[in-house]
Amino acid sequence: MQEENPTVLNVTHADFERKVLASPNPVLVDFWAPWCGPCRAVSPILESLAADYGDRLTVAKVDVDENSALAAEYRVRSIPTVMLVADGEIQRVLVGARPASEYREGVEALLQS
């Protein structure tokens, strides 16, 4: 289990609806696994976004090994998969490790919508 970062929520199947879908803020959800090298590479970028956007954006992580049913429900086929969610709806999906600028552009678009 990854250590809890105060700016990043660890989310499970049991609390996904409450922490992500019912969130008053837009949410960036990272579907990842501890053994995934690209996931580990993306993690500092997402933590930086969490710090930069503070209370305007929620950043959440879902460990696909511990929450395989949730990953299947959202058709996560490759990790990392980052979903940008607003008002309970998926607005954008980014699959695979991407440059920090792509995540930031996605977050900016999400916050402006």
Neighbours of 56 (CB within 10 A): 11
- Catalytic site residue 39? yes
Q: Which one from 20, 28, 36, 46 is the annotated catalytic residue?
A: 36
Q: Could you say which of 27, 28, 39, 46 is catalytic?
A: 39
Residues with catalytic annotation?
36, 39
